[in-house]
Structures are given as structure tokens and as C-alpha cells.
Amino acid sequence: MLGLDFINQTIALNPSPISDSIKNLDLSKIDFLILNEIEGQEISGEKSPNRILDHLLSNYSFLKIVLTLGTNGVIYKDNVQEHKQEAYNVKAKSTTAAGDTFLGYFLSMISQKHDVKFALTIASKAASLAVSRKGADY
């Protein structure tokens, strides 16, 4: 017999690659929106990270947004808190899997009930390690 565990599921969306169907998607069922600057610009029509975050939260006040900024780190923002995580300074050999690595580690930490700040730190460290090695494009 199936349980009702599906009722309390968390839904995370990483709109990559960005497309018109994703840009027009109703985000009202999404808990976490994890995107990079380009995807944020496409969805919000805004250029600066702060304006992207403000635009998204003004339309979807319940969202938990993780905006990755490449070498400028990452910003997390929801309707209660904001955290910034600096990028770790490493010599990049390949950035191919950086976003996927960050996403996987961040969601893993969140699913284990770690706080957002810790999740950002671990995910950023993992992504830094990923870019400092030969990636999927080798």
C-alpha cells in the first residue's frame, strides 16, 4: 500500500538549459529555484543579481532562490533570510560539471536537514574541487 509521503515532498527546479517553456512556467509549485545569472536574467528580465532575486520574490514570495554567480560565488534568498557564499579561489581546468556538482551537493545537504549556510559552503567547496580537475569535456 502506498503511503502519503509524497504530500510533504520538496520540489527543486534547475532551469537548465533555459527555454521559452521554462521562462513561462508557473513557479507556484516550486520550493527551491536554483539557477545561474543567465537563467535568472532570462526568467526575470533583470540584469543584476539583487534585481533578479527581488523580481522573483516579488512574484513568488514563498520561493527559496539559489542564484549562482560563477567566480563571484552564490546568493541564497527567501522571504526571511539571505546568505552569500564567496567562491573558492582555485585554478579551473574545466567548468563543465560545476553547476551540476553544486546542485547535487546543495540539495543533498538540504535533504539531510542541514541549514542553508552550511549547504552553500559544502556545495561551493564541491564545485571548486570539480572545476579544479579535468571534467566531462575531456
Q: Catalytic site residues?
A: 100
**For every residue of 38-92, which 3-state class applies, written as one string?**
HHHHHHHCCCCHHHHHHHHHHHCCCCEEEEECHHHCEEEECCCCEEEECCCCCCC
**Residue 108: its H or E element:** helix 98-111
Q: Give SS3 for 36.
A: strand
Cβ atoms of residues 34 and 13 within 8 Å: yes
Q: How far is CA 96 from CA 22, 53, 130, in A?
A: 22, 25, 9
The residue with cell 559552503 is 121
Round to whole Å and give the CA distance between 58 and 104.
27
